[in-house]
Amino acid sequence: FFSVSDDWVGSQPLFTGLCGREQESSMGCASSSNKDPDDLRGGGGGGSGSGDYGGEEDDYQPLTTEEVNARIQCCDKPLLHTLGKSGITLRYAYLSQRGYYPEDLYKANQDAFKVIPSFNGDSNNMFLGVFDGHGSDGDACSYFVRDNIEANLKKAMVKHSDDFEMAFRTSFIETNTTMHDAKFDDSMSGTTAIVAFFKGNQVTVANVGDSRAIVGERKGKRIIAYSLSIDQTPYRADERERVKAAGAVVMSCDQLEGIVPFHENWGVNLGEELDNGGDPPRVWAPGKSFPGCAFTRSIGDHVAEGIGVTAEPELLVKEMTREDNFIIVASDGVWEFLTNQSVTDMVLKFDDPLEACRAVVAESYRLWLQYEVRTDDITMIMAFLDWSEDDGTTDPASGGGVGAPRLSRRESRRGSANNIGIGLDVVSRAGGENRPVRRGLSKEKRQAMMVQENAMGAEEDDTDWKPEKVPKTAEEIARIKAAVRANFLFQHLNETQAQQVYDVMKRVPVMKGEVVIRQGDAGDWFYVVDAGEFAVTLSQADKQVEILKYTTQGGTNPCFGELALMYSKPRAATVTAVKDGVLWAMDRRSFRAILMKSSATSMVRTLRSVDVLKSMTVGQLQRLQDMLTEMSFADGDFVIQQGEHSETFYVIVEGRVRCTKREHPADAEIELMQLGEGQYFGERALLTSAPRAANVIAMGKLKCLHISKDAFEEVLGPLQNIINDDRAAREKVAMQKQLQQETEGLASVSRKDLEMVGLAVEIYHGQLVLVKHKQGQEYTLKAISKSQAVESSLQARVMTEKLLLSTLATPSRFVPLALTSFLDESYLCIVFKARVVTEMNALIERAVFSEAQARFYAGSLALALEHLHSEGVVYRNLMPENISIDMYGYVQLMDLHFAIKLDEPPARDYSGRADYLSPEQVSGQGHSLPVDFWALGVLIYEMLTGSGPWITGDPNADSEVAIYNRISSHAAGGMPLPKDFSLSDDLAQLLNDLLAPNPVKRLGCRGAGAEEIKTYKWFSGFNWDECEAGEMSAPHANLCTEALAAAEKTASKCMPEAAGSYKGEAAWYEGFGSFLAPRK
């Protein structure tokens, strides 16, 4: 670590962003030289002081090679500043770590920070600011704000001497305006800014972007994190609507590229984020692929200003009270994978603010490398609030003090009095309910992990594995314990688990030059450095580039390789011993045997049994399980007291409790029940703060896992919202289905209520039958033979299809509604609101289509896919034999047995005919929505030629392997057009774009979905509205009329029972007869 000097001018220390460099200003505050480019670059964007930017453009350039290893800068010790007579001393520290970018090892730190004690010569004041740049000139932007915000704020404070909040706001806007005239380019670059300004015991936080400030506030026995800012991103409905009103388009990258359909399901409540995959909603210019801002406010970003991205800050004012323990101001590199509360729990393990910064930044860095292939720049300023016995005067202007009333959390935190900044009312309501920016893996990491997680499940089945205990001294165990205490895998271990981990670690002597782990090798060991020095290198351009060193200097014992304890994957870097040393090592199998087998599974099972948690998904329950922390009680301790207001939910891990109650204070205590291991209590505290109805008392030694309502809501949002959303979604579909059933008279239909009119189509595991209800309505009945489904191993697909159909309640001309389901002894039946008479394959076999005929079907199918995708369904079954045609000649997609939900992980199975598989399906790398547009291209080709583009007609050359080879080797624009068919150039262009091997570049997947297909020249003159309304004349309408007449003569062939009733296992189709969404 490098120190920042703290020379004194009068009573004011100087802080710069550079190690040992400072310039004195006339005010005695920290300043940067405008002549020394290093002062502007800062090696990590450190804080500077007064002075406008006067350097040349090349002052803001990437770090030199010599500066690569100087990626961490911080103060050399904790620093102190007393806020006038407020009675508060800030014991603070700061640390900035430059990120790792594999494609640009020498990329400059785009974070900058600024710390100014005694701002403007007033000891009551202190300025703490972090600025996170983005874009190609992001470092220049963040450094510019760092170097100019102080002077602009001073000027504004003179101009608005009686209105600090107006001055604060004005300084941001003025800095943004002057940046536009700087010599660097801020058109597509800018910076976030989060500044906490203390005036005595009052702190005003100004926020632009998605950096964050939090305060740790004592609540009972715990310190709870509360936000002093709210991330300004398109996740926020208020911010999203504001930029849209200014002309912006809000979409994720995947939506822009057409990988997922357009939606705005980003979360309507402040702080809610529904994205778990690292693809957030962004701000785009209409019809353009820029600027793509993942935030709605920024300093700089000149281009984005025209679509509502503003530099106007949101302000929040808080009166600090003795309940406030610390304040943190940090860039989003900290918050990307860590919640407010997890950061709070981590820093409370330390008395030293610098050590707290080191732990949080190190954990953030590790999590970045766990979930991503790079790391962001990470900057953090942290200050403990030390309160004197004598708080000074009661004058709030001088910092409050003795006799000042104790304020509630709501009273002590408010929005700006004169409503400066858009959305201030929302900020002031938010309190501690901010959410982490990311809670999931990047696409690259997710793709890599899924296969390994599948493999992991098999390893966890080895329940007989017993880890070997290795003897250790108390000192050795203490060093291991200290090394892992802030690591995310070990933070919430109970005492027994932690001791088992320490016991099984093996001592590994290492010689100088020995490679501990090698980049690319499979890894299953985790290491703690007990002695020695170890270099971490990455292979870049055939060279080994050192990115950091692990050493025990400074009394710390670093650890590495924790990802190997979770699943097997290639090592991301090489670690080599620089000198002789000693490691403590633990293998994945032992770790899982101790921690990650029955405990996790049984805990999720326990949580799932809690009535108030039944609406939560398995993923949410797993996240909740990870958040539970342990608490111990002695015999006779009251865990809960009757009548108290508590917001904590408990699960018993070890021991027992008895629950007692007094109806009246004078009554004797009545024992209601006893609870033991695996049982729970206090669950309704997650919903309400009502007084506790009974006592819960420990019977002997007791260990519980617990979580507070605030901690729950920080990560998962309010539980009542989860319950309401789940109930509303299910009830909406259920009510629509029920209404449809009642309207059609099908609420309790059975086979005896339906007349078999005729056999329309024989399908692989049953029939499509024309039926007539006793009240006169006509339908299509899909009759699935139980026996054939079992013989074809289609049980799971049959039930998945039924479940998917039960969730589709929006009418479409091309996707008929499934109205109800029932079963008899031989068949599983689904009733569709349509009358199908044939399948597309039968029409193609009669004669291949003309381009005009194919255009009708292609247009219809594009509309059908648009509907399914909007409903979150990937069809994966667009083949002639699985496309039904109704009596009017319109396509009907009613076979969903290969379909999957869009919100599920990318599928890796092989479904359908070999020649319809897309390149991503053949490769097995995961596929989703784009496969439907690939299949549409293959289908159009087959409609026109009678076979797909990958079929040669030579049986010897059309093996599955040969077909897969052709699909895999297909190049963009290389569509093999048939020589004996005359196809138009417009059609050739459409086919080439639908059959683009790269799914991101495939037509329908490039931002506008099926809408883009409608604009193609081949569809010129095609009336999409008439087609969607069913008013267009179908090319084979006459044939369909003939098919209907023929089908009506085949009633005797419908649902034959010659084979008798099904005699096999019935469990696999349990629940098939109920078509309404279950109510909980």
Whole-number pLDDT of residue 491: 57
Query: Cα 666 from chain centroid?
Result: 53
Confidence of residue 56 (pLDDT cuts 50, 70, 90): very low
pLDDT at 21 over 70: no
What's the average model confidence in pLDDT over 985-999? 92
Q: Is the dihedral of CA 440, 441, 443, 448 positive or negative?
A: negative
In this predicted model, which residue has the larger pLDDT, 977 or 814?
Answer: 814
Strands (E), 833-945: 836-839, 873-874, 884-886, 891-892, 900-901
pLDDT at 174 over 90: yes
pLDDT at 319 over 90: yes
Whole-number pLDDT of residue 845: 79
pLDDT at 810 over 60: yes
Whole-number pLDDT of residue 1046: 85
pLDDT at 37 over 60: no
What's the residue count for the chain? 1080
- For all residues of the chain together, what is the average pLDDT? 78
Whole-number pLDDT of residue 743: 65
The tokens of 576 are what? 């080599």
Q: What whole-number distance in Å separates Cα of residue 550 and Cα of residue 562?
A: 14
DSSP track, 287-344: TS--EEESSSB-EE-HHHHTTT-B-PPEEEEEE--TTEEEEEEE-HHHHTT--HHHHH
What's the average model confidence in pLDDT over 4-14? 28
Q: What whole-number distance in Å separates Cα of residue 698 and Cα of residue 637?
A: 5
The tokens of 443 are what? 């696409």
Asked if residue 254 lies in contact with residue 1000, where contact means CB atoms within 8 angstroms, the answer is: no
Confidence of residue 444 (pLDDT cuts 50, 70, 90): very low
pLDDT at 339 over 60: yes
Query: Cα 939 from chain centroid?
Result: 36
What confidence tens digit (pLDDT) does each residue in 71-95 have? 788 898 999 999 999 999 999 999 9
Asked if residue 699 lies in contact with residue 629, where contact means CB atoms within 8 angstroms, the answer is: no
What confidence tens digit (pLDDT) does each residue in 926-948 have? 788 899 999 999 999 989 988 88
Confidence of residue 613 (pLDDT cuts 50, 70, 90): confident
What confidence tens digit (pLDDT) does each residue in 402-440 have? 333 344 434 444 444 333 333 334 444 443 334 444 433
Whole-number pLDDT of residue 13: 29
Domains of the chain and CATH, by start: 11-232+295-430 (3.60.40.10), 443-594 (2.60.120.10), 598-717 (2.60.120.10), 731-834+1055-1068 (3.30.200.20), 839-1047 (1.10.510.10)
Using DSSP bridges, classify how beta strands 522-523 and 525-531 pair: parallel, antiparallel or unpaired: unpaired
> Model pTM greater than 0.75?
no
> What are the Cα distances from residue 975, in Å, to 106, 585, 948, 949, 1019?
43, 55, 11, 8, 19
In this predicted model, which residue has the larger pLDDT, 689 or 533?
Answer: 533
Asked if residue 330 lies in contact with residue 192, where contact means CB atoms within 8 angstroms, the answer is: no
pLDDT at 915 over 50: yes
